Chain A
Amino acid sequence: MALTTTPLGRKVAFDMTEQTVLSNVPDVNVRAGPTTLYGLDLDNTTTSSSANWIKLFDDTGDGLAAAVVGNTARPDIIIPVVAVGAVGATPILGRLQAMWPEGLPFTNGLCWLASKAAGNDFAAAPDDDFRVQAVTAEAA
């Protein structure tokens, strides 16, 4: 599991933050403060058996891990990505992009996790590598 943020270029006012192995333990405040989300690239291609859900929180991250364990955390965004070969799988199997052209503000901070179930069920982590690349506004 590795979390990194890469500036996309001096003339592009965006950064790209990547988590190569999402788990059901949240990455908290990945931009170290408020940010605006423009896009996600979700890669579930190494998982052959199950869909995974990414869950995004507008949260400073303080206490979020405990709230996840206690199942009191509530995501702002929940997006499913089907497994490779699943019925109705996307043309690029196991890949999904989501874009907010106007930007989606996270006024407290951007946190995320992934699990194998819909809604606020955080109990089971993905079986295999489930990667996210997020394009956000450039750090101030």
Chain B
Amino acid sequence: MGGVTIPLADQFASRLHEAKTLTATPLNDIFSEFDATVKVKTVDIDATANTGEDVFVKFYDDVAPTVGTTLAHMVLKGKAGVVTPCVLPGGGVTFPTNVAVSIACVQEKGGKEGTTAPSGVVDVKIFAEGTTV
């Protein structure tokens, strides 16, 4: 499990985060360089190798959420065995309270509860734009 954020072009203030084998252990503040605004514009949930169950990617507006306790700001579903892309064109989804995006992937539906990691490998790519103070 691990993640890497790739600068795409500084002039566009855009980043692509690739979360390899995302589990119930959160990746915290994945766009930490954005400290004024951050907007998630595209999410690609690759559950091709996770055929056992649908998965739910939880996005927290929190620098260090507790999965299973912290309310998720956004939840997107990934279908088992396929890639589920979701595009948020225009403005994208903002994370205004803490200007932080932390993510985790679990088997349980959205909301708060759920700490069961997917039974297989789930990779997630997130494209975001942001600004700094």
Contact = CB atoms under 8 A, between A and B. Distances in A.
Interface of A: 51, 55, 74-80, 82, 86-92, 95-102, 104-105, 117-121
Contact of A117 (B71, B86, B108): B71
A90 B89 CA distance: 10
A12 to B, nearest CB: 19
Interface string B86-110: 1111111111100100000000111
Nearest to A100: B86
B90 A88 contact: no
Interface in B24-67: 37-39, 56, 61
Interface of B: 37-39, 56, 61, 71-77, 79, 82-96, 99, 108-113
A104 B84 contact: yes
Given A100-B84, A100-B85, A120-B71, A75 B90 contact: no
B72 A78 contact: yes
Nearest to A59: B109
B93 to A, nearest CB: 6
Contacts of B109: 74-76
A45 to B, nearest CB: 12
A53 B111 CA distance: 11
